[in-house]
Chains A and B, each alone.
Chain A
Amino acid sequence: MTPFLRTGGYASGARRSLANSEEGLDGKAEPYRTVLRRSREAVENTMNGEMQRTIGSGHATLLRTLLVCGVLLLLLVCILIVAALLGSQRLPLTSSLCALAGGSNCGLSSEQQAILFDLRLPRILLAGAVGMCLASAGAGYQALLRNPLAEPYLLGISNGAAVGTMIALVFFGAHEWSRPVMAFAGALLATLVVYQLARGRAGATPERLILAGVIVTTFLSSAIVFITTLMDATRIRSFTFWLLGDLSGTTTSLLAIAFIAAGVGVGILAMNARSLNLMMLGERDAFDLGVEVGRVRLTVFIAASLLVGASVASSGSVGYVGLVVPHLVRLSFGSDNRVVIAASALAGAAFVIVADTIARTIIAPRELPVGAITALIGAPLFIYLLKRG
């Protein structure tokens, strides 16, 4: 596998996808064909056996995506069932499985029934939705910004959403819908600011982007501190917990919002996956190949902000999901965004469900915020990626 952090990792993935994109460019103006032919020649010169296999028609990619997603979906369902069986309270195994399978007389007491279906499952589902949102958003940012370290939490985008949520709580506390709306606005604003800050004359280098992220993160952290001083002293503790990412206290409406946002956001990103593949070659090359760079960028920013906003509004800032998951996905399935985005969504769901199960059980009956677990896994990986780069 080509080391991901070197630009080669991206470029080779993109070249691979480039060949797949040819049919999509049919009928476009002649100069594109020339560029395309030249690119393809370059690709063919550097192709190795593994690439040979992955290059095929659009049908082959579709099949591959479906296959990868099918496997991940199966894994996700298994993880979901195991997570539902684990918790601070031990539930009888066979009765719980029977109840999960939809049986009505499985021998669970009404309390056990409530624990399983009213407390555990909604929380697991929210973990899944949050994981989907954050991992696919991370994959989107990374492809668009051509930067493997781009991650909603590290770029300050989660903090932007957190500030939005807190403003909603302080000023429009009564309206539950105001939280995701303000979180989305905050995330989008933070995204645009980071992007503008990171853009130098030489384009946004990975280092510049991370620095811009640090600046925005620290600025927004002070905004968060400022807003907490406006709150009741009694609410501050719950907020510190929430800021670290917390999945408890799910309501049906939050769950619905998270899933709708996940569906819409992942859908939009997936529709732009082919353009993202081309943009990994560089924005100018992508433009020459007929990609409406500005439109794609804005679309991806909006979709990713929607994803981050929905997840932060429902569960606070769960960090590093958008870093860990897409990275592992690319290691396993290559860099074609048509696969990466869909696979990241599913693997992200699995990752956060596992992390939250650990958070729920490791010091039971007490709990940890899920963000503490994801950061514990994510931060060392981030350092490893930096070292390798």
Chain B
Amino acid sequence: MASCVDRHRNTSTSDATREVVDEAGRRVQLPLHVDRIVSLAPNLTEIVFAVGAGDRLVGDTEYCDYPAQAKNVARIGDTMHPSIERIIALKPQVVLVSTASQLEAFTKQLDEQEIAVYVTNPRSLDEVFYSIKTLGDLFGQHDGTESIVADLRSRAAAVEVAMRSVKPVKVFYQVSGEPLYTIGREAYLTDLVRRAGGLSVTADVPGAFPRYSDEAALAARPEAIILPGGGSMGTANSTVAASLKNSPAALNNRVYRINDDHLSRPGPRLVDGLEEMARALHPEAFK
């Protein structure tokens, strides 16, 4: 234990760091060898495990439940209310954050402790691949990550091929029913719906997850409704919003329930979500 601390001290004084730019455009100083990571979001935890750096994850959130080993990592609170004391006590070299907005004050405190904060903020499937690849590189897992991302890309490409000849379906993505929330221009899910042979009727609405008008949703005449739910969502969001009961989608039984954990976590399993959505919207293309 003592030697470990010594080694840590040596590396922090003598060892070189490198400067990287995170997805929020911030300059971040990272040690060349990162061996203590804290993740503040389930998708980041999934990425850390996927790139083979799971054994270096020393802290994650209450929501991190995949893969199973993620549940055995020390918990630092939840994504919105992380415990700064616990994080500092875990002595991480980098804390991974999924969006910068809520964590400004908190980032400052970590800066004072010389703990780097790296922000990811993907707005499309390609940017999710980019997040996975850069994190893999940062953790020295270049080769393994390369093949993981290549595999994910080829699965996404297969969906793209299958969707080439289909007619896009008008989709309403119901984030929550009452009140009605959906996906907007800045959500990576808008890109995902398009890749799955859909056309989000709210693709041009400003924001990532806007509160949406009931009547506008009905008037958009969605042909299909995506209901992300199940998984860690439990029974939440399991029924179509009352305002959409008479939409073409609901009347024609084209309401598709897809595991929310595959959609709401922009990580490796997002491609599962893409495949599930494409199969739901265009079963004919996969015969």
> Which A residues have a C-beta under 8 Å from some C-beta of B?
87-89, 110-111, 114-115, 118-120, 123, 232-238, 241-242, 246, 248-249, 251, 360, 364-368
Q: List 30 A-B contacts (CB under 8 A).
A: A88-B216, A89-B216, A110-B246, A111-B218, A111-B219, A111-B221, A114-B246, A115-B215, A119-B214, A119-B215, A232-B233, A233-B80, A234-B233, A234-B237, A234-B260, A237-B181, A238-B181, A248-B178, A248-B179, A248-B214, A248-B243, A249-B180, A249-B243, A365-B202, A365-B205, A365-B213, A365-B216, A366-B211, A367-B212, A368-B211
Known A232-B236, A360-B213; contact A366-B207, beta-carbon cutoff 8 A: yes
B176 at the interface (CB under 8 A from A): yes
Contact partner, B242, options A110, A235, A249, A365, Cβ 8 Å? A249
The 8 A CB mask of B28-70 against A (1 = contact, 0 = none) is 0000000000000000000000000000000000010000000
- With a CB–CB cut-off of 8 A, which chain A residues contact B218? 111, 114-115, 119
- With a CB–CB cut-off of 8 A, which chain B residues contact A120? 215
Contact yes or no, B179 A242, CB < 8 A? yes
C-alpha gap A251/B221 in the complex (Å):
22
Contact partner, A241, options B207, B211, B213, B241, Cβ 8 Å? B211
Contact partner, A248, options B63, B180, B202, B210, Cβ 8 Å? B180
- With a CB–CB cut-off of 8 A, which chain B residues contact A360? 213
Known A232-B236, A366-B205; contact A249-B215, beta-carbon cutoff 8 A: no
Contact yes or no, A118 B212, CB < 8 A? no
Contact yes or no, B179 A238, CB < 8 A? yes
Expressed in whole angstroms, the minimum distance between the Cβ of B225 and any Cβ of chain A is 15
- With a CB–CB cut-off of 8 A, which chain B residues contact A234? 176, 233, 236-237, 260
Known A238-B178, A248-B178; contact A88-B213, beta-carbon cutoff 8 A: yes
Contact yes or no, A115 B219, CB < 8 A? yes
C-alpha gap A111/B180 in the complex (Å):
18
B234 at the interface (CB under 8 A from A): yes
Q: Which residue of B lies closest to A250 (CB)?
A: B242
Contact yes or no, A118 B216, CB < 8 A? no
B22 at the interface (CB under 8 A from A): no
**How many A-B Cβ pairs are below 8 Å?**
87
Contact yes or no, A364 B216, CB < 8 A? yes
Expressed in whole angstroms, the minimum distance between the Cβ of B17 and any Cβ of chain A is 34
- With a CB–CB cut-off of 8 A, which chain A residues contact B241? 249
C-alpha gap A365/B201 in the complex (Å):
11
> What range describes how many residues of B lie at the interface?
20 to 34
- With a CB–CB cut-off of 8 A, which chain B residues contact A123? 214
Contact yes or no, B236 A89, CB < 8 A? no
C-alpha gap A251/B178 in the complex (Å):
11
Expressed in whole angstroms, the minimum distance between the Cβ of B101 and any Cβ of chain A is 14
C-alpha gap A242/B205 in the complex (Å):
22
C-alpha gap A360/B216 in the complex (Å):
10
- With a CB–CB cut-off of 8 A, which chain A residues contact B213? 87-89, 360, 364-367
Contact yes or no, B179 A246, CB < 8 A? yes
Contact partner, A366, options B210, B215, B233, B242, Cβ 8 Å? B210
Contact yes or no, B78 A366, CB < 8 A? no
Among B197-246, those with CB < 8 Å from A are 202, 205-207, 210-219, 221, 233-234, 236-237, 241-243, 246
- With a CB–CB cut-off of 8 A, which chain A residues contact B216? 88-89, 364-365
Expressed in whole angstroms, the minimum distance between the Cβ of A102 and any Cβ of chain B is 21
Contact yes or no, A88 B178, CB < 8 A? no
Contact yes or no, A238 B176, CB < 8 A? yes
A89-B216, A232-B236 known; 14 new pairs, CB 8 Å cut-off, are A111-B218, A111-B246, A114-B246, A119-B218, A119-B243, A232-B234, A233-B63, A234-B237, A238-B176, A238-B181, A249-B214, A366-B212, A366-B213, A367-B213
Q: Which residue of B lies closest to A247 (CB)?
A: B179
C-alpha gap A85/B229 in the complex (Å):
35
Expressed in whole angstroms, the minimum distance between the Cβ of A125 and any Cβ of chain B is 15
Known A119-B243, A232-B236; contact A237-B215, beta-carbon cutoff 8 A: no
Contact yes or no, A249 B212, CB < 8 A? no
C-alpha gap A347/B210 in the complex (Å):
32
Contact partner, A118, options B63, B202, B246, Cβ 8 Å? B246
Contact yes or no, B242 A233, CB < 8 A? no
C-alpha gap A118/B245 in the complex (Å):
10
Contact partner, B176, options A119, A237, A246, A364, Cβ 8 Å? A237
- With a CB–CB cut-off of 8 A, which chain A residues contact B207? 366
C-alpha gap A234/B79 in the complex (Å):
12
- With a CB–CB cut-off of 8 A, which chain B residues contact A246? 179
Q: Which residue of B lies closest to A239 (CB)?
A: B179
Contact yes or no, B179 A249, CB < 8 A? yes
The 8 A CB mask of B142-184 against A (1 = contact, 0 = none) is 0000000000000000000000000000000000111111000
- With a CB–CB cut-off of 8 A, which chain B residues contact A368? 211
Q: Which residue of B lies closest to A251 (CB)?
A: B242
Q: Which residue of A lies closest to B181 (CB)?
A: A237
Expressed in whole angstroms, the minimum distance between the Cβ of B102 and any Cβ of chain A is 13
Q: Which residue of A lies closest to B209 (CB)?
A: A237
- With a CB–CB cut-off of 8 A, which chain A residues contact B206? 366
C-alpha gap A246/B176 in the complex (Å):
14
- With a CB–CB cut-off of 8 A, which chain A residues contact B219? 88-89, 111, 115
- With a CB–CB cut-off of 8 A, which chain B residues contact A366? 205-207, 210-213
C-alpha gap A365/B206 in the complex (Å):
10
C-alpha gap A204/B205 in the complex (Å):
50
C-alpha gap A236/B181 in the complex (Å):
13
- With a CB–CB cut-off of 8 A, which chain A residues contact B63? 233
Expressed in whole angstroms, the minimum distance between the Cβ of B175 and any Cβ of chain A is 9
Expressed in whole angstroms, the minimum distance between the Cβ of A267 and any Cβ of chain B is 31
C-alpha gap A368/B210 in the complex (Å):
10
Expressed in whole angstroms, the minimum distance between the Cβ of A294 and any Cβ of chain B is 42
C-alpha gap A360/B179 in the complex (Å):
13
- With a CB–CB cut-off of 8 A, which chain A residues contact B236? 232, 234-235
Expressed in whole angstroms, the minimum distance between the Cβ of B78 and any Cβ of chain A is 7
Q: Which residue of A lies closest to B79 (CB)?
A: A233
- With a CB–CB cut-off of 8 A, which chain B residues contact A233? 63, 78-80
- With a CB–CB cut-off of 8 A, which chain A residues contact B210? 366
Q: Which residue of A lies closest to B242 (CB)?
A: A249
